[in-house]
């Protein structure tokens, strides 16, 4: 089953600082919903563990994340693949950062993912809703990290 996602979010941080946050595996570990492990495998490659619940199906994924096509501080592609007790996922998302001035940035994202296994059985509409919910939680956690870091 295929999922497409796109959107944008304004964040209270300049483009260079946001670029640094989005390239910091420890920040990503704190802000990606369900992330419970991060291990560096190489330059811009990481192994991540995720625990997710989708409708009445829950389980864990272990996968790899690779950052590529980097054009600092404005663009990169995040490639993700993983499998676990409830199925598999793989996908890519492009992230573009636009400086809005006065300490704000606009982050645009567009991506596509393939999911299969038990998790795909919950249906396209449910998965799309869960994906939007998880993206929303990521941005809330990222904003909280930014605010907390400033004290």
Range of the domain at 34: 2-150
Query: Which pTM does this prediction carry?
Result: 0.89
What is the number of structural domains in the chain?
1
Tens-level pLDDT at each residue, the chain (151 residues): 888 999 999 999 999 999 999 999 999 889 988 899 899 999 999 999 988 877 777 888 899 999 999 999 999 999 999 999 888 989 999 999 999 999 999 999 999 999 898 888 887 778 788 888 888 999 999 999 999 998 7
Neighbours of 125 (CB within 10 A): 8
Predicted local confidence at residue 144, as pLDDT: 95
CATH number of the domain at 46, please.
3.30.530.20
């Amino acid at each position: 089953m295929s999922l497409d996602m796109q959107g944008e979010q304004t964040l209270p941080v300049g483009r260079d600082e946001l670029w640094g946050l989005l390239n910091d595996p420890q920040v990503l570990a704190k802000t990606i919903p369900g992330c419970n492990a991060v291990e560096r495998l190489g330059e811009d490659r990481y192994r991540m563990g995720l625990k997710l619940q989708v409708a009445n199906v829950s389980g864990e994924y272990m996968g790899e994340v690779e950052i590529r096509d980097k054009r600092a501080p404005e663009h990169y592609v995040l490639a993700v693949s993983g499998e676990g007790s409830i199925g598999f996922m793989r996908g890519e998302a492009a992230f573009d950062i636009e400086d809005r001035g006065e300490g704000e940035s606009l982050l645009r994202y567009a991506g596509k993912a393939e999911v299969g296994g038990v998790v795909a059985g919950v249906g396209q509409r449910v998965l799309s809703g869960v994906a939007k919910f998880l993206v929303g939680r990521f941005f809330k956690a990222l904003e909280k990290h930014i605010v907390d870091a400033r004290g």
